[in-house]
Structure 1
């Protein structure tokens, strides 16, 4: 392939259909592609930039770059290449272009970060080979149900009027938790918090980036760091159904039910398809007993879907060693 025919350019809101045409969303992540629903949300966030590889007037490649960690890190997300040009170096060409003249070139950027599915991404193998440095690894499990089932179960549990020890967290309080040495030891031992598949350093300045319009954050036992439970939820409509992404940090206990009650209060107010998938994510080696029990009360059942965990890694940018 003649590389001179390929040019890279910044993606705008008007390019939505061209981006979606690169690869059918129904064929990505077994129908769990978040980009069709997240595209406009993400492109409006000031720390996100989208780029495309273009031949003629056709988009043949795409990459989303997210800047975090006080501008010191750039995360590569949502990379995709059309079937017609798969295996022809499109992703590499885009990466090189962005390293020379894009977000990775900026003088303040030191780290290039990645997060990938442990089962389906080559990231774990690349960290094993020392090409990237692994920063954290988490397990996840999937559950599914239907919207009407969740609504009925939620109403029953909500009407029990149980006193809740859990509370919503705003951006300011989340920032305080991230800055707390005592809490960081128990919640983020790797000094990293992964939310919406973005591996943030556990620092106060990342709090406004973690909390988007789709995000809810809940905490319990904040006054006792070794028992503190912090949960973060995000949701998106995918071709296969509505996804509820549930990240859990800290002491997974019976309080998880009260966390879910608060998260579902916001989740159920959204427009969504009938089929719902819940992905619970926590530290490697987590026992899911408490989450299994809690989500079962809300009408969910455990399923096998797409992978078993997520790996985060980074590499230092060579020209800034």
Structure 2
């Protein structure tokens, strides 16, 4: 039989066939069932499928960021029956060619949590990394702690608030060095350069930002040295939470990105985002918290979550696979 392969953009009608490509992706934490429609309608995402004759055998969502200079691929999958035939590599290569034809695309980026192959590292270079902390809990257990802790925590930091608009000032010194030492705003597994053009894209599908960093703390002259322990430092944290319906044994999954080093206010951030999770009514929740690899006082993160009855995942496949997330880039300008 002669095989004919072709690339095309997806349609809403392809959804079920795409989800049937591979039914056990990311150890049950597959986000594509919840993200498929968002990828279809997003102005900066183009989803593609790869077809063998008339059968869909692979899928990949291509996000365009950084003023169009970077494509970030997500949700990639190939039919298990077609693995080992280098088809996925051809699929990606064709997408890069199509994107490069627009004249602006210079690089292909993606985020991995597992160690890549040597052949991968010949073309992709690591450019940023964050630590992953894995937790799992039952919302019914958390709710017991909610009432008594929420009233106390709400009084700790009265200027903490959800952000309607991401502040442009956060992209500039001295904030940028403190919040984004990796040189990227890594939110919900998408790396963004510190460019104003990326601000409308940061909220993604349903990401909510929360901050207790105020402009007053940035008006002190000695901020040139970044975070210090004296009066005049940049205080507080910026956090971003994205939730989606999980599959298999879990009801909900949550990506919680933490930016900054001052973990003294972590209780406020955790309580705010937990309230949002609690309001979904879902019970069995997987929580992944991402911090700078140089973040201090991580023990405060652990102890805060323990207050809410949330325990760290200490073994199993997910613990082994989710230790750090690394951003890799490849030059595709030629």
Report the TM-score, using the length of structure 1 for normalisation: 0.89
1:238, CA displacement in angstroms? 1.3
Aligned 1:133-212 pairs, distance under 5 A: 133-160=125-152, 161-165=154-158, 166-173=160-167, 175-178=168-171, 180-212=172-204
Indicate how the Cα distance of structure 1 residues 73 and 307 shifts in structure 2: closer, same or farther if over 3 A, else same: same
SS of alignment partner, residue 264 of structure 2: coil
What's 1:83 paired with?
80
1:311, CA displacement in angstroms? 0.4
The answer as to 2:328 corresponding to 1:313 is yes
- 1:131 and 1:212 map into 2 onto residues whose CA distance is 28
Indicate how the Cα distance of structure 1 residues 131 and 206 shifts in structure 2: closer, same or farther if over 3 A, else same: same
Tell whether the 8 Å contact from 1:74 to 1:104 is kept in structure 2 after alignment.
no
1:152, CA displacement in angstroms? 2.6
1:271, CA displacement in angstroms? 4.9
User: What are structure 2's unaligned runs of at least 5 residues?
Assistant: 219-226, 228-234
Aligned 1:23-34 pairs, distance under 5 A: 23-24=22-23, 27-34=24-31
For 1:287-308, what per-residue CA distance to the aligned partner results, in whole angstroms no more than 9, with x for missing partners?
5201101111122001142320
- 1:316 and 1:303 map into 2 onto residues whose CA distance is 36
Indicate how the Cα distance of structure 1 residues 8 and 264 shifts in structure 2: closer, same or farther if over 3 A, else same: same
Indicate how the Cα distance of structure 1 residues 126 and 198 shifts in structure 2: closer, same or farther if over 3 A, else same: farther
1:131, CA displacement in angstroms? 2.3
Indicate how the Cα distance of structure 1 residues 75 and 139 shifts in structure 2: closer, same or farther if over 3 A, else same: same
Tell whether the 8 Å contact from 1:50 to 1:65 is kept in structure 2 after alignment.
yes
Tell whether the 8 Å contact from 2:260 to 2:295 is kept in structure 1 after alignment.
no
1:220, CA displacement in angstroms? 1.6
What's 2:100 paired with?
104
1:151, CA displacement in angstroms? 2.4
Q: 156-165 or 292-301: which moved more?
A: 156-165
1:183, CA displacement in angstroms? 0.3
The answer as to 2:311 corresponding to 1:301 is yes
SS of alignment partner, residue 224 of structure 1: helix
What's 1:6 paired with?
5
For 1:250-300, what per-residue CA distance to the aligned partner results, in whole angstroms no more than 9, with x for missing partners?
11412011011222232322253x211111111124452011011111220
Report the TM-score, using the length of structure 2 for normalisation: 0.86
1:318, CA displacement in angstroms? 4.1
Aligned length: 308
Q: For 1:72, which of 69, 73, 80 is the aligned residue?
A: 69
SS of alignment partner, residue 135 of structure 1: strand
Aligned 1:247-286 pairs, distance under 5 A: 247-272=257-282, 274-286=283-295
1:62, CA displacement in angstroms? 0.8
1:79, CA displacement in angstroms? 1.1
- 2:328 and 2:278 map into 1 onto residues whose CA distance is 34
